[in-house]
Structure 1
């Protein structure tokens, strides 16, 4: 997989007025009787379309995954953060074209009401749900909630945006 490139992507740390961060639980392809597995919680993220600016992609992905439109830019991570997919996942994801993702992260303040968040019919129902549950979480807990191969990126994101934690 060394010759493969990284998929350009954005990540969004959405903070509420108390400085807690939105996390969604990835929608499972397992049946309803199966218990949730660890590390299914993550912040919104997604690919950058050709010709799209990273910040515009972040706002679009936030809408497509959470329905949120009420947000203000707080900060942008100073550099791109990269992770490799485990080999078995890399062969299935994106038809094996990428070795992982390189992400530009943005911190946004949620200025709306929690009722604006709609993970069941995001972007006013124009997109498939990617999360089956969500909650506000302390920033310092984020790295322990994400899949291990993304953990170092979350550690770095939290370090970049640590000054935004709390009200």
Structure 2
């Protein structure tokens, strides 16, 4: 189950994102755990406590600390979280690259844009959760999912991987 955080100072926008997520979850048959925050300070307090999120949808323009500053601080604790900026201003789009943002989306976000962003971010999170190796074999460079590996053997200087589908990589 992916953990998602929404951070926006506007209650109406947060409720809209929650409704879109519920609709997305029902449409895709997935479960999500989500938490909403009214300020970056609240979000950062959770991150500093060790709470880990897979995806954060973060407004940039908020009173006090803005979303961009919060993202910089989040990166000190978590380099893998997918940060998606949702904002009414294109002013910080270039700066979002500096914090390795997953995406920068202007408000109001449409249903199809939200679904596309979530499809992309969820797919990336799923890939990262799988354990795999990238190997050079006789057939070229291959990604080997560890769940598929039955056993490996070493004969001389050759390493052979036997997979559960009968494929043998040398």
TM-score norm. by structure 2 comes to: 0.26
Greater helix share, structure number: 2
Q: Which has the higher contact order (CA 8 A, sep 6+)?
A: 1
